[in-house]
Structure 1
Amino acid sequence: MASSVYFPPNGNGYGGNGYGLPTHSSAVREKWQRHHPTSSWIIPLSVPIPGVRTRRLRIMAPNPARLHQFSVTRFGRRRGPVLLCLSILATVFTVFALHKRFATQEKAWPTFPSVGDPPTLVYRPEDLQRIWEWEIVAGHYPSSRKIPRQIGFTTPPANPALPAKKSANIPSRYRAPTVQNTLGNGSKRVYLDLQAKYPNAAYPPRPVPGSVADMDVIMDHCDFTTGKYVRDCLEILRTGGGLDNQARVRRGKMDDWKYIYVEDGASDNITEPDAMHKPNYALKTQGKADISTDFSKRRGVDWEAPLHLPAPPKYRPYKDQPVPCDDENPRLFHMFWTGPFTDKPYLALLSFLFTQNLGLHLGDDHLDPSICRPKFWLWINPGPAAAVPNPNAVRDMYNDLKSNPWASPFLHPRFKDVIQFKLWNTTEQLDGVPELKDEWRALRDSLFNSGGYVEKVPVNEQVNVVEEETNEADGEGGTRAVTTTANKYANDEDDKVNRVGSKSASSYDRLSVILSDMARFVLCHRFGGIYLDADTIFLRDWEELWGWRGAFAYRWSRLEKYNTAVLRMNKNSALGTFLFRTALKNNLDFHPMTISRYTKDAYLEGLLLRLPDALFDSAWLNTENFQRDRPPQPYLPEFAQFFDTPRDTSAAPAALGFDGFFKGAYSYHFHNFWWKPFDSARNWPDLGERFINGERIARAAAAASNPNAEVEEDLVAYDKQDLDWATVLKRTFEAYIRGERPNMYGEWLRW
């Protein structure tokens, strides 16, 4: 006899069998059912058997009423049903997962959509430890900050870039299984009190050759994560760097603000070049190594082969180097530019001449042999980012530079040893990176990858064009077949494939920007040095930044991500090998946000230090509505105000000049605005009689662009009334080239 629970109850309390009659087997059963309707966790269900009308299948199932009662009693009326539904869903998914894993051909566990970014790691933990060891032994980690626990050192690596320090001998039973510190065995550090002194008190002193910036001290005073203000950071930077000449108003002992030091005395620099080849992992030198749960491999790719690194370069303090310019630590500034030369790279180069220790105030026969002069390599991609350079690209590049009024001044022989123009060739550069040369062509379709978004470039159709060629040796004429690049977009100069430079906010050369994301890592890895975006202006000497041998970029404003508008990397470093091999397995994505994921997933962020943006980008936090209660000087709540200073603050640029512009910062990044002139009233190179021909060409071009403007005499009365910050900086640098003022350190340019 079937139980009444087989049918839903009717209003009369009897089981619903279609006739409203009771279906209990007995009065005892009916009484028990009425008083204990939910006492059982399981209930029998009657399921009809197909084809057999007189029989039903009886199965046991969970009692929904009992489950509901339990959830309400246990968790409340609101939370109970929700948790019950979630439990049912979890049960269903578990059954589905088990079925998929064991009863299907795929034999794979189902995956959830990833929370956040997917992992990027392609190196095993043992290899990451070797990278750390290589960089430390090479002197690329001059920091006392802790190494991540996940790296798993069991003994502290010797660190020649740190001074020796006594440490407590902790009994083994109290020691952690891993260590997070390095063992300094380098020279003693002497921190400098830099101030202008009589009789040269009008200008700040040049940094001491070979001096080093202690990034640990800078991070302590400038790290946004710990609530430090850009305003306070800049004051410490200019005071500790001696830039507050004859204007120091602070009183009291300032030892805590000293962040520049020199290495002095003998060092206990006894390092084993092959130390990184000896695995440091506990219990992992024998057999197959276990992969720590802290490391998540990128899905769909294999682990990289075990890493084999060359012996690291021997670390030598500046005082022990045989020559000031060390081949392992070349002082090269790199910049990447696409298309015709404009006032943007022009001002970057002028600021380089105005601030760096180039010896231009001395004759060539009186240069200080103890100083390593930095060089500026400007890499030019003359055409669209996706174009193939023609065979005469180098000659054409120099012809364009000579005829360009913004570029031609830097071809002057006086600057030949410090400024050099280089032709960028993507194929040649990628082939020059050992970690990429054999495999990058397989990813050429995703070459323009930015943050995982690939800009598709149409396949070019190669055509043969016959051109006449004169043989200079014998004067005979001839012909040759020249392969050129053409595509269906060739007539549309504003198409994204054919854009050369950004002419406006709506016509942005995105492909060149993506290409530059990759170019900066290629250049620093191949040649060493520091890369800067072309929208960067130097504000002080970078001597102590060169002295700090580690790699660095800076912080993406409020986010704990990198901005690689400034990037320092060592030539052929283990860190570079990691980044290129990781990028190769992640579709050649070099966007700074993606680089942040590479280093974070591998616990290598300490090897690519993320410096506070106050050092290179002092206005950024203000533009994003941070620290506006105590902004630095000047206060720029928008990047556009650098070019168009508001009327209520426009007295500051002309009154304060260069010294009033983020003094203490190493550079300023104005974030694009390629289409905005620095000096709208005098939009030409104003460098005096020595470069008057270029000025005349630029003046004529400016007049041609505005044919309705009346030709006015060059009187100060016709100048713009309120000068913008961009205008003041441009005119300051130009006055130095004209010989009307010294540079920021009181040195006059000697022609």
Structure 2
Amino acid sequence: MNGGPDLPSHASSSYPFDEKRHRSHPSAWTRPIYLAIPGVHTRRLRVPVPNVSLHHLRMGRRRRGPFIVLLCLVAFVCVILFSRGGSRGWSETVKEYTTGEPSTLVFRREDLQRIWKWEIASGHYPSRATIPKQIGLKSPPTNPALPHRPRRIKPLSNFQPPAGVDVDMETLGAGPKRVYLDIQSLPPNVAYPPRPVPGSVADMDEILRHCDFSDGKYVRDCLEVLRIGGGLDNGDRLRKGDLDDMKYIYKEKADKAVASAHDQDDGDDDDLGALQHPLGTEVDDLDPEAGLTKKRGADWESHMSLPAPLTHRPAASLPTPCDPENPRVFHMFWTGPFTDKPYSALLSFLYTQNTGIHHARWPADSEVCRPQFWLWINPGPAAAVPNPSAVRDMYKQLKMNPWAAPFLHPRFKDVIHFKLWNTTEQLDGIPEIKDEWRAMEETLFNSGGHVIKVKKPEAKPASTANSTNSEGGETTDDDDMLNRLGSKSSSSYDRMSVILSDMARFVLCHRFGGIYLDADTIFLRDWEELWGWKGAFAYRWSRLPDYNTAVLRMNKGSALGSFLFRTALRNGLDFHPMTVSKYTADAHVEGLLLRLPDALFDSAWLNTENYQRDRPPQPYFTEFADFFDTPAQNSAAPQALGVGGFFRGAYSYHFHNFWWKPFDPTRNWPDLGPRFKSGEDVARAALAKEKKENDQAIPPHQHLSDAAEDEEEEVLAEEPDKRDLDWSTVLKRTFEAYIRGERPNMYGEWIHW
């Protein structure tokens, strides 16, 4: 153009790597090429190749030596990338190159298929979600936990996928029909919500549809669905269009409709299927493990031995309300002196679950499966070995502890049980690792790859024996990491017990079945329909697509449990939730350990990490400490709304540690009425003694007179409350009022003494 700026001498290219290509000097020994990475569309792999121009072919003898060495180096790299190398192919190498995380997988595809088929056949996969294509099943397994639907004949079309194409596969429903329930209180009994229907089941597919953070769902909307579908809005329900879409609880009909033989196609258990290899060759002809990334330097696990699958039976067809293959046991693990944290967890259990303490005695004809709470006590430091009289000592300490003693009352003997934790005994009770875990005894405390070494102390006379530190040396620090008993503050965190509890939850669920909960958990509603869903689950780690195992459900002796323990054994017995997430992702078995939305158990988590603050749930916590120290601008809610206004719809609340923060600072003792007055007096006396010891640091001229001190001790328990009570205080006092007989539980039932 006349008068315009000069145009560049070369035309711009739309090829994304053209600029780098032009930068390579024509006389360079190599030039880069960029290869597409299978499954990664946003990156390409830069590979240097010899620049075999005529200029280099005409080079002199002196320059041929380095060129030949370079060619050999490039050839060696290509051999490493493209060789099979045992079972590690191109896609496996590329995966580790791009993610930077080595694989944890030690199971062949054949065993992964058997794990999936076992769990499905046992009724542990009542989901419409598909099986990942990497498992390589050729035919859909029959699923007894899904309603039977006759196989549909697909209409002819111009395109049919060729045989052996790797696609996600659905299971074939062959189970009983589902009836979705409209649960709500009926007039005039609308003051409290109804108990869940015995034998009902939560449809996790529906919950995910309404609550999945990955799909942009809000915690607030999820809680509304959980609240309305579960009938927790009782007389407060407002007219709001068609609410059928919020039904997520169903019952299975007793008259099971089983698919006919010609409708079922179980396939061959030993059929490896036919995955499509990244280079275009079928797996059957090349490598049965193609597409799987084996743990580097490890051998494949030997053929997995599994028992016969369990038989899925609807609750209505069971001879008794409780399914022996699905025990209703809540597990919790605790180390150190009993405090107000497990105390409040147990009270919330009694306040919400159908324990039957509102009856004079448990009805013989009850249709309800009565849940139990097993509190596992580790009496000493996490690395200590229990003494022979540990059980007797444990009960002696529980009786003397004012926070624990109330639960030894005969009224609770059928639903609350204290159990002694013994690490050696528990690990020996896991068949998958009992013969091998002792080789890792010194590195047993492994969390996310961070190992705390514990060496056995040498035998010494009692007068000179000291504790042993993580390096095997002596220490006189009673608060050393290996000797801590609970977390007394944020700076003296009992990390050893936390690591041990990461393992304990999997041990307990695999040995005994049931649901594990962390001790910083408060029950908010009946879990009946969660028990009805027989699959394994944990919940999501806030915004990340990983597990948080603060709530963990697993079936006793399951194929999934066997997979997890064998995989963990080959990876340092690491049970950190992030590591477990890696185990399941590498093996493509995440569907067998369902990752539920954290709205169900941890409704404040996303808000505390600055997510969804445009539409937060009630209450609105910007940090977990708000539970114990509710901000002034939100402090009217706890007393005005009570428990019913605390994340209504969620099954539980996880307050994330804060072991050192009392639930009720001005009444930091059990307040359960005349039946438990002696324990209350002990707790008050301990507080008075602690205050007196603290006062000894005050200069003498500032001390009160003896009469004034006595008067202060008398009124210590009567210290005035805060004007606005915090959420933690309101919840604790609500649970205590139920035990005292001053109010009913959340379902309108009064405790029967």
TM-score (norm 2): 0.83
Is 2:383 the partner of 1:392? no
> Equivalences for 1:64-75 in 2 at 5 Å?
none
- Which of 479, 495, 502 lines up with 2:487 in the alignment? 502
Structure 1 residue 445 displacement after superposition: 2.3
Against the structure 1 CA distance between its residues 77 and 497, is the aligned structure 2 distance closer, same or farther, given a 3 Å change threshold? closer
The percent of aligned pairs where both chains have the same amino acid is 65
- Hey, what does 1:90 align to over in structure 2? 48
Change (3 A) 1:255 1:76: closer
DSSP 3-state at the match of 1:351: helix
Instruction: Assess if the C-alpha contact under 8 Å between 2:184 and 2:194 holds in 1.
Output: yes
Alignment partner of 1:282 is 2:273? yes
Q: Find out whether 1:562 has 2:562 as its counterpart.
A: no
Does structure 2 conserve the Cα–Cα contact (< 8 Å) formed by 1:342 and 1:406? yes
Separation in 2, partners of 1:418, 1:276 = 44
Name the aligned partner's letter for residue 96 of structure 1.
L
1:406 corresponds in structure 2 to 403
Q: Which residue of 2 aligns with 1:118?
A: 102
Structure 2: how far apart are the matches of 1:377 and 1:465?
Answer: 35
Q: Is contact 2:130–2:170 with CA below 8 Å preserved after alignment?
A: yes
Given the alignment, which residue of 380, 384, 397 partners 1:383? 380
Residue identity in the other structure for 2:453: K
User: Where do 1:345-424 residues align within 5 Å?
Assistant: 345-364=342-361, 366=363, 368-424=365-421
Compute the displacement of 1:265 (Å). Answer: 4.3
Q: Deviation digits for residues 170-207 of structure 1, max 9, x if unmatched?
A: 37983563561111111110000001113421100000
Shift of 1:242: 0.2
User: Does structure 2 retain, via aligned residues, the 8 Å contact 1:219–1:612?
Assistant: yes
Gaps of 5+ in 2: 1-9, 33-46, 50-68, 276-282, 696-708
Partner of 1:196: 185
Correspondence for 1:246: 235
Instruction: Measure the CA separation in 2 of the matches of 1:196 and 1:234.
Output: 18
The DSSP-based 3-state class of the residue aligned with 1:161 is strand
Equivalent position amino acid for 2:113 in 1: Q
Query: Structure 1 unaligned runs (5+)?
Result: 1-68, 467-482
Equivalent residues in 2 for 1:697-736 (5 A)? Answer: 697-707=682-692, 708=695, 710-711=712-713, 713=715, 718-736=720-738
* Match status 1:632 vs 2:611: no
CA contact (8 A) 2:688 2:716 kept: no
**Residue 278 (structure 2) aligns with:** none
Q: What is the identity, as a one-letter code, of the residue corresponding to 1:197?
A: L
| Shift of residue 459, structure 1, vs aligned partner | 3.4
- Looking at structure 2, the residues matched to 694 and 77 of structure 1 have their Cα atoms a distance apart, in angstroms, of 78
Contact 2:466–2:474 (Cα < 8 Å) also in 1: no
Equivalent in the alignment of 2:595: 610
Q: By how many angstroms is 1:484 displaced?
A: 11
- Cα distance in 1, alignment partners of residues 25 and 663 from structure 2: 63
Query: Aligned runs of 1:273-352 on 2, under 5 Å?
Result: 278-282=269-273, 290-352=287-349
Equivalent position amino acid for 1:233 in 2: C
Give the counterpart of 2:574 among 589, 595, 599: 589
Q: Which residue of 2 aligns with 1:65?
A: none
Instruction: Give SS of 1:554's match.
Output: strand
Deviation at 1:101, TM superposition (A): 9.8
TM-score normalised by the chain length of structure 1: 0.83
Task: Give the match for residue 219 of structure 2.
Answer: 230
Residue in structure 1 matching 2:250, options 257, 261, 267: 261
Kept in 1, the 8 Å contact 2:604–2:621? The answer is yes
Amino acid at match of 2:272: Y
d(CA) in 2 for partners of 1:244, 1:729: 19
Flag the 1:563–1:198 CA change in 2: closer, same or farther, 3 A.
same
Specify the code of the residue in structure 2 equivalent to 1:704: K
Tell me how far 1:386 sits from its aligned partner. 0.6
Amino acid at match of 2:634: T
Structure with higher Rg: it is: 1
Alignment partner, residue 704 of structure 2: none
- What corresponds to 1:158 in structure 2? 142
Amino acid at match of 2:635: S
Map of 1:213 onto structure 2: 202
Q: Residue by residue, what CA displacement relative to the aligned partner does 1:376-433 show, whole Å, maximum 9, x if unpaired?
A: 0000101111111111111110000000000000000110110000011111000000
1:642–1:670 Cα contact (<8 Å) kept: yes
> How many Å separate the matches in 2 of 1:271 and 1:579?
35
Q: Distance in 1 between matches of 2:209 and 2:150?
A: 22
**What is the SS of the residue equivalent to 2:146?**
strand
The 3 A distance-change label for structure 1 pair 387 and 715 is: closer
Deviates more, 1:145-154 or 1:353-362: 145-154
User: Residue in 2 aligned with 1:32?
Assistant: none
Between the aligned partners of 2:685 and 2:307, the Cα distance in structure 1 is: 57
1:141 has 2:128 as partner: no
Deviation at 1:102, TM superposition (A): 9.5
Deviation per CA, 1:214-273: give whole Å up to 9, x if none. 000000000000000000000110000000011011422211100000001421347999
Distance in 2 (alpha carbons) for counterparts of 1:357 and 1:416: 15
- Cα separation, partners in 2 of 1:102 and 1:145, compared to 1, 3 Å: closer
Structure 1 position 159, deviation (Å)? 0.7
Q: Aligned letter for 1:544?
A: E
What SS does the corresponding residue of 1:659 show, helix, strand or coil? helix
Map of 2:497 onto structure 1: 512
Q: Distance in 1 between matches of 2:630 and 2:498?
A: 27
**Aligned letter for 2:651?**
Y
Q: Is the 8 A contact 2:190 2:234 kept in 1?
A: yes
Residues 77/636 of structure 1: CA separation in 2 closer, same or farther (3 Å cut):
closer
Q: CA deviation at 1:627?
A: 0.2
Deviates more, 1:80-89 or 1:151-160: 80-89
- Report the alpha carbon displacement of residue 298 of structure 1 after superposing the two structures with TM: 0.2
Could you tell me how far apart the structure 2 residues matched to 1:485 and 1:186 are? Answer: 58
TM-aligned CA deviation for residue 281 of structure 1: 2.5
Question: Which of 431, 440, 463 is the equivalent residue of 2:428?
Answer: 431
Partners of 2:467 and 2:476 within 8 A in 1: no
Q: Which residue of 2 aligns with 1:170?
A: 154
Cα distance 1:299–1:660, how it changes in 2: closer, same or farther (>3 A)? same
> Take 1:574 and 1:343, find their aligned partners in 2: how far apart are those partners?
37
CA shift, 1:465, in A, is 5.5
Distance 1:152 1:79, change over 3 A: closer
CA contact (8 A) 1:154 1:179 kept: no
Provide the C-alpha distance between the structure 2 equivalents of 1:275 and 1:442, rounded to a whole number of angstroms. 41
Residues 133 and 276 in structure 1, CA contact (< 8 A), matched pair in contact too: no
Task: Tell me, in whole angstroms, the C-alpha distance in 1 between the residues paired with 2:342 and 2:25.
Answer: 62
Count of aligned positions: 664
Residues 252/291 of structure 1: CA separation in 2 closer, same or farther (3 Å cut): same
